[in-house]
Structure 1
């Protein structure tokens, strides 16, 4: 007697649906946490259009959800670093371009950084920012050797100070005390690194204009 035919179940649609649900949950979490840092997972699930069980299937708790967002932010920063400007670019322009590039990422995840310090710890936040910190340190080191940045602090120390400045400005955005598209932060960073006010403003305006032109041509 012949054996009945075995029908293979195609799992890809299920996996695709699972990925879609996960993406929707993360997007909803970014949105709702931005409105209310103490939003419940149930409220995030409703915003994402999934049932509570689906959310918990992906993220068994608040810490797991924040960790996923932290990794998402880290990947975004790594993407910016990978697309970093040519090492031959003048260091003051390179620093302006770098700050202008990472500001949208920081702005998108600014509330997450504050929550991560509370829920995941400062060490995890440091891990998230490590790729950007390393790139900034390399640019500052070039600038110090070229005589355009302060040399009274080692590059890693100056990089840490400028990182703290950026995080402080992002926190000011959280509180409504600061509004920026990245240009004011880039200028403040250049000034803090040792560039004059007038030169910093001119450099940032020039680099920002180039970046807008590149975006429109893409």
Structure 2
């Protein structure tokens, strides 16, 4: 049986949208000032087709952000967040996310120059925040972390520390291993982990 024309149109629209997002992610990560016409050419569609899906460059960029966030979340989930010590799971999760965003370093920089409102920023980070919260709560139940600070504060601080570690490594101010060590030590102290879990040297 031949599919109805409306179903074919919807399938074509989904393929066009996916092709545009693929092209935008690839092109903007290489050339952040690329025009929509350049992106349309890379996607194999016309510029009006791009505008039909994304009426503005800002909306296209937001859709690219959503795509990268989804890719990062998939990588985080693959890091097996429910296995092993909570702090190790947290580090695996942050490292998985950093590896994804590291592949799009130019795009991430471009995104950072387009500030969004608090609500949009909250929505952007919600999938990541939910997973961090889950690991922190597991660590509290197991006794690995203390409960002196509010969970939401710890989640927000963990996200910012993860960004800081990536930014320091990207800028060359810290090597990648040093940034990871600084992140781990900072998280252990922030979360109130036991001294036996803290790899930092004793004070002199």
The question of a shared fold, defined as TM-score above 0.5 by the shorter chain, is answered with yes
C-alpha deviation, 1:163, in angstroms = 0.7
Higher RCO, Cα 8 Å, sep 6+ = 1
What secondary structure does 1:30 align onto?
helix
Is the deviation greater in 148-157 or in 51-60?
A: 148-157
| Contact 2:81 2:93 (8 Å CA) reproduced | no
Corresponding residue to 1:124 among 120, 125, 128: 120
- TM-score if structure 1 supplies the norm length? 0.66
Is 2:75 the counterpart of 1:73?
Answer: no
Is the deviation greater in 52-61 or in 95-104?
A: 95-104
- TM-score if structure 2 supplies the norm length? 0.70
RMSD between aligned residues: 3.6
Corresponding residue to 1:193 among 164, 187, 190: 187
Aligned length: 191
What secondary structure does 2:34 align onto?
coil
Change over 3 Å in CA distance of 1:150–1:41 after alignment to 2: farther
Equivalent-residue separation in structure 2 for 1:88 and 1:169 (angstroms): 24
What runs of 5+ residues in structure 2 fail to find an aligned partner?
189-196
Is the deviation greater in 22-31 or in 104-113?
A: 104-113
What is the match of residue 157 of structure 1?
153
What runs of 5+ residues in structure 1 fail to find an aligned partner?
1-6, 200-218
C-alpha deviation, 1:26, in angstroms = 0.8
